Amino acid sequence: MTEFEKQFQELQNFLKFDDYTILTKRIIDLTLDTEEFSHYQTTFDFLNWLDGHDVKMEGYKEKFAQLLDGLHATLSKKNIAERKILVETRQLEKAYRSNGFSLGPVSMQLKQGEILGLVGENGNGKTTLLRLLCGELYATSGKIDYHFGFDDRYDLRSQLIYIPQRTDTWYGSMFDNLQFTAASYGYKPAENELLVELIIARLGLRKFRNFEWKSLSSGYKMRFELARMMLRKPQILLIDEPLANLDILAQQTVLEDFRSIAKSPFRPLGIVLSSQQLYEVEKTSDQVIFLKNGVQKNLHETAQNPEAVSEKHLVVEFESTLTQSDLAQIFEKFGMISLQFNGGTYIITLPENISVYGFMKIVIDHEVPMLYFRNISNSTRRFFVS
Amino acid sequence: MFKKTQKYLLVNNPLLWNMKIVPAVCFAMVFHVVFFLIGYANGKIDFTAERDYDITDGIVIFFSVLVTLLFFVIWFVFYFRNNAYKSFYHLRPNHLFKEWLLLLLVCLLNVSYSISFVTGKTLRVRSYYSYEETLRRCDIIDDASTFITSEYDYVRPVNEDGTFNPDSTFTYNKVRYPYNSLMNKSGESFYIDWDDKKHTDIHLLMQKNDTAAVKKMMTDYLAIAHEHGLKGNVNVEKWFALTYHYPEFTEYELIGRGNETETIIENGVAQAVKPTYKYFLPQEMLADNYEILARNWIKPIIPDESIYLILYLSLGLSVFFFAFKATNIRSWIISIIGSGLLFVVMGIMATIFRSESVFLVYWLALSAVFTTHFFVKLYGRQDKGFSGISLNLMLWSLPAFLPLVYGLVMEIFDHVTYLKQPDGTTKIFNTPQHDWLEANLGIFIFINILLVIAMMGFLTTQIRRWKALAEN
């Protein structure tokens, strides 16, 4: 089963369980994947039809199914893009003379369709690494290799889109700005409007088409940036703290958008994002780099980083009303290695022979009051607390 | 309509949309028409009034500058809203050159309102009479002035004791005439390069005693005056009788150039006002107003100097604004302040050295330094550093670079030689190189403009590359 078929199956399930909101978004993704004007028009007409019809209406589901069939017929003939390496860094270092901070060495590799999460506390080099990757800074030493074609450095930078935490102000209506972007990228006049309509619908911006920058909330500004990025068809998207200032629901939506955009079977792109929202980033990313004082720490061994800080013990973060000594009394019997209190939560390290189920059994057997727990043995979270 | 056009451009030609070319050109066109109409209205000649000091031109130029400033302020707000170059949109290598050319066009259209004013004014003046008719009338007024109060052509020699020699004479066409003869009056000096065939030599007619021709001239003169509603107090016969006395023309009544009066003062008290001359003709008004007609036919509608000024002003403004687009507001403002400081240094140097060459070498050297710094940064795989400032100053000095070289070469070859001539006069010579450069200044000005455009074609591709350098 190809990647497309797998994703299409997922869409069929959305249809089966009447999950129309996500299905509509994914239909737009597939429409954009076709890169065909006729599909743009059909889906756009469909979106207009949806605006005036209720889910309870007869034939509602069939309309979706019909559209999916049309898209499937076209896309099943298209070649699935091969996941090539986009960028590779080797022993990349950047030292600032002004404050003495130094990043690196960082070695990493990013392929098409991959999301790389950069995590770490403030001032540990996440933004510096993003700026190095997008060409906004030169490295002090080491190497960055881009494995895609470009004519000159400007052309290279036009294929690397960096969205900073504080995005630049833009003027005029959102729709005009997006049409300007589309026209600048050579979309034909006829498809320009349709494409922009589809992309703003994809990112939930339809209601805000005539809004100006100052009238949009942080979340919608971020979505606008994503819409613009989608029109620019970059090789790599580098995005700094996209989840900052977003509520939890908006964070999940944006991350889901990243996944869908990056993992298009036909137009995959690489995404590097930095965030403090550790769990959300880990959930979405294919690989995570933790930066501590500018030094790279990887969870897993890779060809670029054979020295991964692997964890064989069971590390659990949990919240309980018991005191540290009460908890220690219980877990010491099971060979507890350490128990740290970390501002409201406990981090316990248990021997490798105890699984997470074993941990749960101890908790149940000893009736330990448990408000929350999470296995962080394979999470960069343990880098934060250790 | 604007909205529809802009929408069309937005999806078909984003650069034209971004630069708001259609509204900008329409704005400029409307104001060109307005200034043309103001000029056309201002070109009206009141033949019944004497020419007075006219401040209209100054006021109109002031307002044209005001409109230009107003336009640029509003236009920039829209133009700088979107910057595809700054956002690293995919741009063809010649994109910035096209953008600069459009900027040049907008600047050209918006700094040339005074040209439309002058054109309107000149065309209105020219609309009164054709060139030939203007010449014919000026010729008549010129001829008539011999028979109206005016200065003598040849100044009467003065004796050592300061008195005039009453017997002194001058020669015209091999005949001697006394200094006080009407033959010693050649009349008005119209701003006309007379063609001998079209210009009547009234003195020759007088010498030949061609009374019919003289009377015809007087008749034509009075007809012109009558046409403009101007009056004198003599008719042809009277005028002729009062002034025409062949062969020496020394007996004549003074005919006033207008209905002038003078105040008779006795014992420091004004007693009465009486006409200065018993007889008068409206010569002052005719001469004044036909001088305007003659001048507007002789000078080109748009003088070369105005064209050069407008072209260089547009060129200067276009690179000045383009620098803002190419770099950023910080570099741009620092560059403006830096330029001011460099001018202060230049002023100090000029005071110390008192040499024009020092000034020329100073600016040439600075231009070379900015250019070198920019290209070292660009090809040295270094971050931008302060190269944004160098880029701005390089762009701003670009239109002046060759003129500075021209000025320096002129200075080098400027060797004046004074040569006494056999007739006692002194002739001034310079080197052939200097004379050649001076003679070809007009061509040089246009060549420089073409070279600046060509250089911008090259530099804009380099600026695109520069943009991609890492920040400092």
Q: Which two tokens stand for residue B292?
A: 């305007």
Q: Which residues of B touch A184 (CB under 8 A)?
A: 14, 84, 89-91
Most confidently predicted of A151-155, B96-100, B302-306: B96-100
Question: Quick one: pLDDT at residue B56?
Answer: 81
CA angle B319, B324, B329 (to 5 degrees): 150
Residue B286 · residue B228 · CB < 8 Å: yes
A157–B88 C-beta distance less than 8 A: yes
Q: Which residues of B touch A143 (CB under 8 A)?
A: none
The nearest alpha carbon in chain A to B385 belongs to A137
B13–A183 C-beta distance less than 8 A: yes
Residue A172's pLDDT band (boundaries 50, 70, 90)? confident
pLDDT for A384 beyond 70: no
Residue B247's pLDDT band (boundaries 50, 70, 90)? confident
The answer to whether residue A97 neighbours chain B at the CB level (below 8 Å) is no
The nearest alpha carbon in chain B to A163 belongs to B87
Give the mean model confidence (pLDDT) for residues A183-208.
Answer: 90
Domain boundaries, chain A: 3-75, 85-298, 314-385
pLDDT for A303 beyond 70: no
Of B82, B381, B383, the CB nearest to A180: B82
Residue B323's pLDDT band (boundaries 50, 70, 90)? very high
Q: Which residues of A touch B13 (CB under 8 A)?
A: 183
The nearest alpha carbon in chain B to A160 belongs to B88
Residue A77's pLDDT band (boundaries 50, 70, 90)? confident
The nearest alpha carbon in chain B to A167 belongs to B87
Q: How many residues does chain A have?
A: 386
Question: Quick one: pLDDT at residue A132?
Answer: 93
Q: Which residues of B touch A161 (CB under 8 A)?
A: 88
Residue A18 · residue A26 · CB < 8 Å: no
Q: Which CATH class, in words, describes the domain spanning A314-385?
A: alpha beta
The answer to whether residue A74 neighbours chain B at the CB level (below 8 Å) is no
Question: Quick one: pLDDT at residue B47?
Answer: 85
Report, at the CATH architecture level, how domain A85-298 is classified.
Answer: 3-Layer(aba) Sandwich (3.40)
Q: Nearest CA to CA, how far is B100 from chain A (Å)?
A: 17
Q: Which residues of B touch A182 (CB under 8 A)?
A: 11
Residue B322 CA: distances (Å) to CA of B103, B226, B326, B418: 8, 59, 6, 48
Question: Looking at per-residue confidence, does B126 or B184 come out higher?
Answer: B126
B469–A184 C-beta distance less than 8 A: no
The answer to whether residue A150 neighbours chain B at the CB level (below 8 Å) is no
The fraction of chain B above a pLDDT of 90, given in percent, is: 36
Question: Looking at per-residue confidence, does B265 or A25 come out higher?
Answer: A25
The answer to whether residue A235 neighbours chain B at the CB level (below 8 Å) is no
Question: Quick one: pLDDT at residue B194?
Answer: 61
The answer to whether residue B464 neighbours chain A at the CB level (below 8 Å) is yes
A152–B468 C-beta distance less than 8 A: yes
The answer to whether residue B51 neighbours chain A at the CB level (below 8 Å) is no
Average pLDDT taken over every residue of chain A: 86
The answer to whether residue B418 neighbours chain A at the CB level (below 8 Å) is no
Q: Which residues of B touch A183 (CB under 8 A)?
A: 10-14, 17
pLDDT for B402 beyond 80: yes
Question: Quick one: pLDDT at residue B432?
Answer: 85
pLDDT for A174 beyond 70: yes
Residue A129's pLDDT band (boundaries 50, 70, 90)? very high
| Residue A348 parent element (H or E) | strand A345-350
Residue A307's pLDDT band (boundaries 50, 70, 90)? low
Of the listed ranges A241-255, B105-119, B208-222, the least confidently predicted one is A241-255
Q: ipTM, 2 decimals?
A: 0.81
pLDDT for B423 beyond 80: no
Q: Nearest CA to CA, how far is A92 from chain B (Å)?
A: 16
pLDDT for B55 beyond 90: no
Q: Nearest CA to CA, how far is A255 from chain B (Å)?
A: 24
User: Which residues 347-386 of B are in CB contact (within 8 Å) with A?
Assistant: 381-383
The nearest alpha carbon in chain A to B382 belongs to A138
Of B17, B468, B471, the CB nearest to A154: B468
- Report the relative pairing of strands A345-350 and A338-342 from DSSP bridges: antiparallel
Q: Which residues contact A296 (CB under 8 A, 6 or more apart)?
A: A104, A105, A106, A107, A108, A289, A290, A305
Question: Quick one: pLDDT at residue A275?
Answer: 87
Query: Which of B6, B15, B89, B377 is the best residue to mutate to test the A interface, defined by the most A CB atoms within 10 Å of its own CB?
Result: B89
Question: Quick one: pLDDT at residue B250?
Answer: 84
Q: Which residues of A touch B383 (CB under 8 A)?
A: 137-138
CA A11 and chain centroid, separation: 20
The answer to whether residue B13 neighbours chain A at the CB level (below 8 Å) is yes
B11–A154 C-beta distance less than 8 A: no
Kindly write down the DSSP assignment for every residue of B254-310, as one continuous string: PEESSS-EEEEEETTEEEEEEESSSEE-SHHHHHHHHHHHHHHHHS-SS-HHHHHHH
Give the neighbor-by-neighbor strand order of the sheet with A295-298: A160-163, A236-240, A270-275, A115-119, A287-292, A295-298
Question: Quick one: pLDDT at residue B463?
Answer: 94
Question: Quick one: pLDDT at residue A379?
Answer: 74
A171–B81 C-beta distance less than 8 A: yes
Give the mean model confidence (pLDDT) for residues B218-241.
Answer: 91
To 10 degrees, what angle do helices B304-326 and B329-353 make? Answer: 130
Give the mean model confidence (pLDDT) for residues B129-137.
Answer: 90
Q: Which residues of B touch A176 (CB under 8 A)?
A: 10
B84–A183 C-beta distance less than 8 A: no
A52-72: pLDDT as tens digits? 887 777 778 888 889 899 999
Question: Quick one: pLDDT at residue B46?
Answer: 87
Question: Quick one: pLDDT at residue A343?
Answer: 75
Q: Is the peptide bond before A105 cis (omega within 30 degrees of 0)?
A: yes
Residue A195's pLDDT band (boundaries 50, 70, 90)? very high
pLDDT for B405 beyond 80: yes
B11–A184 C-beta distance less than 8 A: no
Question: Quick one: pLDDT at residue A100?
Answer: 78
Residue B70 CA: distances (Å) to CA of B62, B108, B344, B378: 12, 15, 30, 37
Question: Quick one: pLDDT at residue A50?
Answer: 86
pLDDT for A1 beyond 90: no
Question: Quick one: pLDDT at residue A300?
Answer: 60
Residue A2's pLDDT band (boundaries 50, 70, 90)? confident
Question: Quick one: pLDDT at residue A178?
Answer: 94
The answer to whether residue A177 neighbours chain B at the CB level (below 8 Å) is yes
B12–A189 C-beta distance less than 8 A: yes
Question: Quick one: pLDDT at residue B197?
Answer: 58
The nearest alpha carbon in chain A to B12 belongs to A189
pLDDT for A309 beyond 80: no
**Amino acid in position A55:** V
Query: Which of B5, B90, B461, B472 is the best residue to mutate to test the A interface, defined by the most A CB atoms within 10 Å of its own CB?
Result: B90
Question: Quick one: pLDDT at residue A386?
Answer: 54
Give the mean model confidence (pLDDT) for residues B415-427.
Answer: 79
A171–B11 C-beta distance less than 8 A: no
pLDDT for B195 beyond 70: no
Of B87, B90, B468, the CB nearest to A135: B468
The nearest alpha carbon in chain B to A169 belongs to B81
Residue B193's pLDDT band (boundaries 50, 70, 90)? low
The answer to whether residue B461 neighbours chain A at the CB level (below 8 Å) is no
Question: Looking at per-residue confidence, does B426 or A194 come out higher?
Answer: A194
B383–A137 C-beta distance less than 8 A: yes
A193–B383 C-beta distance less than 8 A: no
Q: Which residues of A touch B98 (CB under 8 A)?
A: none
Q: Which residues contact B176 (CB under 8 A, 6 or more apart)?
A: B169, B170
Residue A300 · residue A338 · CB < 8 Å: no
Q: Which of B17, B29, B25, B179 is nearest to B82 (CA)?
A: B17
Q: Nearest CA to CA, how far is B80 from chain A (Å)?
A: 9
Of A135, A137, A176, the CB nearest to B10: A176
CA B372 and chain centroid, separation: 38
Give the mean model confidence (pLDDT) for residues A224-230.
Answer: 90
Of B14, B90, B468, the CB nearest to A180: B14
pLDDT for A196 beyond 90: yes
Of A136, A154, A179, the CB nearest to B471: A136
Q: Nearest CA to CA, how far is A82 from chain B (Å)?
A: 24
Residue A28's pLDDT band (boundaries 50, 70, 90)? very high
Question: Quick one: pLDDT at residue A119?
Answer: 86
Question: Quick one: pLDDT at residue A285?
Answer: 85
The fraction of chain A above a pLDDT of 90, given in percent, is: 24
The nearest alpha carbon in chain A to B13 belongs to A183
Q: Nearest CA to CA, how far is B388 from chain A (Å)?
A: 15
B11–A193 C-beta distance less than 8 A: yes
Question: Quick one: pLDDT at residue A310?
Answer: 57
Local structure of A239: helix, strand or coil = strand
Of A138, A154, A183, the CB nearest to B470: A138
